[in-house]
Structures are given as structure tokens and as C-alpha cells.
A and B are shown apart, each in its own frame.
Chain A
Amino acid sequence: MNKKAAVLAITCIMAVFLTVLGAAFIARSVQEKNLAVMFSDSAESFWIAEAGLARGYNELSNYLYCADALNNWSDLEENFAEGSYRVTLSLCDQGIRMQSEGSSRSGVKAVAAEFSCIPFPFENTLSAGGDISLSGLLARVEVYGKTRISGSYSGSRWASGWFEDKVEGVDPSQTTLEIPDYDDDGTTDEFDDFVVFGRETTSSYPEEERVYIQTDGDVLIYPDSSYVGKKVVFVEGSSPGAGNVFIVFDSTWQEDEDLTVISTGDVSYLEPLQFQEDARLSVISWGDYSEASIFRSEHESVIYSHHDANFVDILDWGSTTGNIIANNNISLLEVLTYEKYYYSERALNGDLPAGFDRLAGGNGILSNHLINWQEANAVQPVDRMQSDSVQPAGRQVAGRR
């Protein structure tokens, strides 16, 4: 009898052992199957999100201006393949952010793309929020492309100005740039906004591409080999007008160099000379921008002055290619020779120098060039209903159009 009981007990133990082993195998199989399904659903949802982004891009191409796109956009929620996507649009620092969430059974993935808003003055060669004046002795100034002036143009008797397309009295939104509310105090276009703008622009670049100087003194910069690969130099003074910059003789600039000098003071660009292919030296100044030369000068630049832009004491012929934007006046003062201004489409095509992409906010011309693509965080399916009330991320700017 005892022997029978022992056999039964051993049989039961063996059976339990085998059952545990079998159960473990089953559990492992189920887990692997689930992982495979999850991976498959995840990949499928990713490609559905991509399809949503392509659909959104197509829809976005119907809009010419960022503000129109933001104001009139309605989220795209459509079924696609074995799942569905939802495409939303929001404002971001550099323009417009489009996010597409794809879901397929258990998978949810999101991808986001950013498009820059090109400020309206980038359609012009010269943009003045105030007046443009020309004076000189037997001087001639030619401006190719658009000249847009919110004030008026005046020229002296001894100087002649030729403008391919000049319009006076245009709305300031077409000729000026407003500094967005970077310090989040509810007011745009303040000095503090400019400082935060400069810091955020500078810190968005890795150390090897930026130079950040804090000083109330005047800084003399001569772009040489130590600036190769640099994208931004920010000279920050403690008050408006402090931290002036002199940029001297950049003839040793290299091909494809693309540097922006940002200053809280005035910027003087002296004897500019870039003859290297696709090189560009741009300026963003809270104070005045001034340019002067004694020899032939030639350069490509995007110039933005929150106040005046002065082309003064130009003693030899020269040419500037790019865009010149002054929130106040542009003076072509005592030009002795022959000065030409050419329009460059680089900025309008989305190739903005450092910093300028952060000046448009939600206002400007919608660029069809993708400036950023990334996999984004997805909203959980259970929270989707609530997400309609979530405000889009990004800085709000005062509408100007």
C-alpha cells in the first residue's frame, strides 16, 4: 500500500514538474507572439503616421502664409490601411510644426515635421520701416528686386537711384521684423525679448558652432580661420546700445561659411569683401547697422537692424547680395561711386542664416522646405479625446497679418 502511495506521489510530482515546464513554454510562446504583434503593429503605425505626414504636407501646400495655415487648419483624421492617422498643426519657435499620429491595432506612433515661416521682408532686397534716403556726389545706386518702404524715398540732386521695383507707403508688416515675446511677459519687441532671442539662438547651436560674449565694451571681430564652421556670434551687452561690434575685412572668409553676428548694440561692417562661393556673413542688431568701405566691397549678407541701416562713406564701387531690413530708416549717405544691391532667394527658399528663422514666429511666408523631422511622443489612445483641449506647444506671437 505504501509503495503504491509513493508511486502516486512521485507521479504527481513529475506531472506537476512537467506541467510547470509546459506552462513556462506556453507563457514564453505567448509572450513572443505578443512581442511580434506589438512590433508589427508599431512598425505599421509608424508608416501610417508617415502616410499622415505626407497627406498633411500635401494639405499644407495649399497655404501660402503661416498664419493662414494655422488659423484655417482642421485636423486630418482618416483611416488608412489597417489603422488611422491624425494630423495636427501647431506653432513652434521656428515656424510651424506638423504632427501625425498613426495607430494600428495595439500600435501608436507619432512623427513630427517642422516648416519655417519666412518673414515677409525676405521677399525684398531693401525693406525700410521708415524712409530711404540717398545722397552723394555723382553717385549711382541700383537696387535689383523689390524695394519696399513704409515711409518714403528721397534722393539728392547729385545722386541717382535706380530701383527695379520700388513701392512706398507699404504696411510695416511687409518691411519690418518684430522680436517675438521671448521673455513671455506678454509684450513683443522689447530689449529683453531680444536678449532672450539671442541667448536661445546661440544655445541652440553646439559649442563648436557658436561664440557667446558678454560685454558692455566695443568688440572688434576679424573673421579668420578661428571662425570656420561657426554659425553664430552673440555679443550681449547689459543695456540697449551696449556691446557694439566692428566687423573688419572678411576677405579671408572661406567657401560656404555662413555666420550671423548678433549684437545688442550697433554693428559696423567695414571693408566687407567676400568673393568665396556661397559665403555669407549676416547681422542682427538691436542698434544701428553701418557699412563703410574704401576699396571695392562685395558681400552676401542678410542684414537686420532693429533701428537704422546706414551705408555711409562708401568710397569705391560695391555690391551687396541678400536682404537688408531696417525697422526704421535706410540711409545711403555720401556714396561716392557705384553701389548695387542684388536680391538673393536663399532666405526665401528656406536657407535662413542662424537666428532669422526665430524672428518670424507664426507670421510669414510658409516655406515648403522641411527644417526638422523627428519621431515624436504619441498621445495615448485613451487620452485622445482629451487632447483636443490641449493647447499647441510653442511661443505665441502677436498677429501682424
Chain B
Amino acid sequence: MKRLMKGAVLVAVVVVASAQAASAQSIFSGAGLGYPVGSEDGRARALGGVGIGLMGADVSPSDPAALALLVAPTAIVTSQPSWVTFDQTETGESGSFQNTRFPMVGVAYPAWKLGMMSVTFGSVFDQRFEARRDAAADLSGGAVDATDTFVSEGGSSRLNLSVGRMVSPNVAVGLTVGRYSGRIVRRLVRELDSLAVDNSVQPFQSGGLWSYSGTSVTGGVSLQFSDIGRVAGSVTWSGDLNAEASEDTPGRDGSYAIPLHIRVGGSALLAPGLMLAAGYSSADWSGTAADVVGGVGQATNNFGVGIELTRAALLGRSTPLRLGYRSADLPFGFDGTTPTETAFTAGMGIVLNEQAGIVLASMDIGLERGERKDSTLAERFWRATLTLRVAGF
């Protein structure tokens, strides 16, 4: 029990740290419910990013059956810096930004006779962005320049409790119960040109704060084919994502229908030391369109494929190398557009400590070079995903 408490404290500390460091990574964060944030770790990212059905154990709320393969308590934290440049053809605007976020933190622990249990916390939709435009105010002295700034901060996240269990030597099942949380602050600020008006003129501010809530359930199953392959699938059902306005927020509450999310994936050894992984996921967000301003939402089909050279080594330590590619539709776009994201991926794993065949500490690094675009906006990005995994505490 003491060790369980220790694990819980570790998770709490990491969750707090991640909440402070969360940041946005795309202008598409301003479309619909925002930019979807995957909870894939460094290995899954390097292998094309769908993150289900990979050989080996994993702590992932979207592949709860993979939990059953864990043999020791494990804590995981993922960090994801990205560097983005963008061009907007309509406005001729271009620029760049960078940020780091922590898409998922979690801890897994044996759950008595139930199997393996995990608690994870991660982002679902990133809604952080800022927009500026020039405006004018008609005052008695004539037109006065003004600047409008619209700031959206926060997004939705989810706290997940997962259980994974082997039901036969080759079959594992898992269940995740998630609770949506997070909040969003939306604020419009208008500032008049301080050179044209008295400097005591105050900026106009309007906006509010909403807190998210809702429930999701994910069921998963995986089949293990000896040591040469694994296939897995999961389905996530979510109730409505509710956004409740704070007491002093003049805006209305909101409720968004979240579609069923289906994922399948598998991995197989093609030859000794060479693994192929592929995955696919789908969700139809067009039903959510009715709930968002602008009514833009589309069915998304995401797939990823990758290979892993499992026998590579560096300085005598196992250092698997990975290459991949993935393509994803973004659920929300601007003005009826259907944005997509594609990326070539690469990465490696580093085993830091291994005892009696059990990896006690490891790091996975995934690097993506990709593009997100719709008919008017194109973002090119470098994104690194670093996952530190510690086991056996």
C-alpha cells in the first residue's frame, strides 16, 4: 500500500508539472474544439503514431489491453517540444513559434488479482491560440486605431483509470474509464492607440472561463501470436463533453457530442530483428459540427506505418531504431476546409537499465517532420517526442 501511495504521489507531482507547462502547437487549435492531442509515447510516434498493437507492454489509455503485458510497476512521462513555421495564403501572413507540452503522464501498478492498473492524465484537445487584428474606433477627435487581441487558453484533458488483464496466455483485455477535465479561458481585448487617446483609457475586455467535464469508456482487446506478432483494437465511447461557464462568465454553457473512436493496429516480426507496425483509427466528428460555431467537423481517418530494427545496439546497450510515416485528418478546420496532417517519423529507444531481462529504465525518442494544411493555411513542423519510462519501483 505504501508503494502504491508513492506511485500516486509521483503521478500527482507530474500531473501538476504538466498542467503548468502545457502549451499549444498549432493555429488549428482555434478551429472547432481545437487541435487533437494524441497520448502516444516516443516509440509509437517514431513508428507512425497510431499507438496500438505494438509488440511489448505499454501504458496507454487508448490501448488498455497492453497494460496486461507489464511485469513491473511503471511510471511514464512524455515530453513533446515542437517547432512550427506557417504560411497563410489568404492574408500573406507567415511566422513561427515553438513550445513544449507534456501529452501524457502516468503510472501503472499491479491491481491485486485484477491484473495491471494505471492512472494516466493527458490532453485531449488543445485550444490555446492567440489572434490579432487591426480595428478602429470612431471618437470625437476622429478615427482612432485599435488592436483587437483574442486569446484562448487551455483545452480539454482527461484523467484515465485503466485495467488490463490476460484472460488466456494469448489474449488480453483492458478497460479505461476516463473523466474529462480541463478548462478554457477565452478573452477578447481591445486596446486603443495610446498615442491618440488619453493614456488612462482602459482596454476593453470580454470573455469568460469554462470548465470541462464528461465521461469516456474505452474497451480494448489484444491477441499475442507467440513472440512474432500482436494485434489489438480498442473502442472509445464518450458521453457529451460539457463546458460549464464560471459564475461570472456571461457566455452560455456548452455541450459537444464526442463520436465513437475506433483504433486497430498490429505489429509483426518480418525477420529476426525487423518489426513492422501499422495502425488505423477513425472517428466521425461531423456529428459534433452542430455543436461548434461555424459547424465544421469531418470524419477522420488516421493511419500510420513503421518499421523497427530491434537488434540495433549502441555502446553495448539495446538501442532499437525506428522509421515510419503517418497521415491523419484533423477533425476541425476553418471555413469548411478539411485539414490534414502528414509526417515522416524516425526515432530510437535507449535502454538505460535492464535487470534479469526486465527493462527498469528506458527512453524513447521520436522525431517527426511533417505538415498540416488546409486550403489556406500550411504549417510545417519538427516535433520531438521524448518518453522516460521507469519500472520496478
Answer yes or no: are A and B bound together in one complex: no
A binding-site residues for B, Cβ under 8 Å = none
B binding-site residues for A, Cβ under 8 Å = none
